[in-house]
Amino acid sequence: MSEPTNSTTDPFASGTSDAHGSLYKAIGLSLAIGSSLFIGSSFVFKKKGLLQSMGRTVIVGELCNFVAYSFAPAILVTPLGALSVVISAVLSSFFLRERLNFQGKVGCVQCILGAVVIVLHAPEEGTTDTTIENFKHLMLSVGFLVYAGIAVIVSLVLVFYCGPRWGKTNMLVYIGVCSWIGSLSVVFTQVVTLVLEIVYLNKALNIFNTAVVTPTYYVLFTTLTIVSATVLYRGFDASGVDITTCVFGFLVICSGVALLHYSRSGNDLDDGASSIDSRRKSLLHTFMSEKVSYEDRHSMDQIRSFHDDEENHMNPFRTPDTLTVNEKVEHSTSLETIDIQPIDPPPSAKGHRAQDAMDPLSAFRMGLHRDNDEDNKGLVARLRKVKPYFFQHQVYAKERWLKRPLLDVFATEFQFRDKMYYYNAIQCGHITVNGSQVEPTYVVQHNDLITHHIHRHEPAVTAKPIEIIDHQDDFVVIDKPGGIPAHPGGRYRYNSVTQLLQCQLNVSRLFPANRLDLPTSGLMFIGLNVDGARRLWADTVEGRVQKEYLCRVVGKFPDRVVCTAPIKRISFRLSLHYVQDDGGKPSETEFERISYDGTTSLVRCRPVTGRTHQIRVHLRYLGYPIANDPLYGLDKPWSHLLQEGQPLDEKYAANVVQTIAAHSHYPDFDPSHINACRDCGLVMTPDPPPNLLSIWLHAWRYASKDQSWAYETPTIPTWAYH
Boundary of a domain, candidates 403, 433, 461: 461
The residue type at 195: V
Question: Both 399 and 453 in a single domain?
Answer: yes
Span of 82-96, 312-326, 368-382 with lowest mean pLDDT: 312-326
pLDDT at res. 75: 60
**Nearest residue to 526 (alpha-carbon basis) of 191, 327, 170, 272:** 272
Which string of DSSP letters, residue by residue, matches 664-712? -SPPP--GGG-EE-TTT--EEPPPPPGGGS--SEEEEEEEETTSS-EEE
Question: Both 74 and 157 in a single domain?
Answer: yes
CA distance 467 to 483: 14
**Nearest residue to 580 (alpha-carbon basis) of 649, 640, 638, 660:** 649
The residue type at 593: R
Give SS3 for 217. helix
Question: Both 301 and 246 in a single domain?
Answer: no
Has residue 202 been placed in a domain? Answer: yes
* Mean pLDDT within 634-641: 80
575 vs 121 pLDDT, higher one: 575
Boundary of a domain, candidates 446, 461, 476: 461
Question: Both 119 and 246 in a single domain?
Answer: yes
687 vs 266 pLDDT, higher one: 687
Q: What percent helix, strand, coil does the chain show, rounded to 5?
A: 45, 20, 35
pTM, two decimals, is: 0.50
Model pLDDT for residues 438-482, shown as the tens digit of each residue: 999 999 998 899 999 888 888 899 989 999 999 988 899 999 999
The dihedral over CA atoms of 386, 392, 396, 402, expressed in degrees to the nearest 10, equals 100
Kind of pairing between the strands at 710-712 and 697-704: antiparallel
Question: Which backbone phi and psi does 717 adopt, to 5 degrees?
Answer: -60, 155
CA 480 and chain centroid, separation? 24
* Mean pLDDT within 531-553: 86
Percent of the chain with pLDDT over 90: 20
| Alpha helices, DSSP H, located in 276-323 | 283-289, 320-323
Model pLDDT for residues 117-129, shown as the tens digit of each residue: 665 665 555 444 4
Kind of pairing between the strands at 380-386 and 368-374: antiparallel
Has residue 402 been placed in a domain? Answer: yes
Has residue 500 been placed in a domain? Answer: no
Which string of DSSP letters, residue by residue, matches 241-256? HHHHHHHHHHHHHHHH
Has residue 647 been placed in a domain? Answer: no
Domain range for residue 295?
A: 285-461
Boundary of a domain, candidates 284, 304, 321: 284
Question: Both 376 and 265 in a single domain?
Answer: no
Question: Both 292 and 260 in a single domain?
Answer: no
Answer left, alpha or beta for residue 489, where phi above 0 means left and psi between -120 and 50 means alpha.
left
Span of 6-20, 110-124, 568-582 with lowest mean pLDDT: 6-20
Kind of pairing between the strands at 461-462 and 511-512: unpaired
CA distance 84 to 255: 15
Has residue 175 been placed in a domain? Answer: yes
Query: Which residues touch 12 (CB under 8 Å, ≥6 apart)?
Result: none
Helix, strand counts (H, E) of the chain? 22, 25
Question: Both 193 and 332 in a single domain?
Answer: no
Active-site residues: which are they?
Answer: 517
The dihedral over CA atoms of 190, 195, 197, 202, expressed in degrees to the nearest 10, equals 160
593 vs 173 pLDDT, higher one: 593
Q: Exposure string (b/e) for 513-545, b if CB count within 10 Å is 16 or more?
A: bbbbbbbbbbbbbbbbeeebbbebbebbeeeeb
716 vs 652 pLDDT, higher one: 716
228 vs 506 pLDDT, higher one: 506
Q: Please, are residues 476 and 528 in contact by the beta-carbon 8 Å criterion?
A: yes
Strands (E), 497-583: 511-512, 521-527, 545-554, 560-563, 567-571, 576-579
Residue 360 sits in a domain whose CATH number is 3.10.290.10
Query: Which residues touch 554 (CB under 8 Å, ≥6 apart)?
Result: 599, 600, 624, 625, 626, 627, 633, 634
The dihedral over CA atoms of 605, 609, 612, 614, expressed in degrees to the nearest 10, equals -40
Has residue 689 been placed in a domain? Answer: no
Range among 61-75, 345-359, 367-381, 574-588 rated most confident: 574-588
Question: Both 272 and 395 in a single domain?
Answer: no
Model pLDDT for residues 643-675, shown as the tens digit of each residue: 888 888 777 777 777 777 776 644 444 444 457
Question: Both 237 and 349 in a single domain?
Answer: no
* Mean pLDDT within 134-155: 72
Question: Both 199 and 50 in a single domain?
Answer: yes
Instruction: State how many domains the chain has.
Output: 2
Question: Both 261 and 329 in a single domain?
Answer: no
Question: Both 346 and 396 in a single domain?
Answer: yes
Has residue 129 been placed in a domain? Answer: yes
Has residue 146 been placed in a domain? Answer: yes
pLDDT at res. 520: 95
For CA atoms 353, 358, 361, 363, give the dihedral sign.
Answer: positive
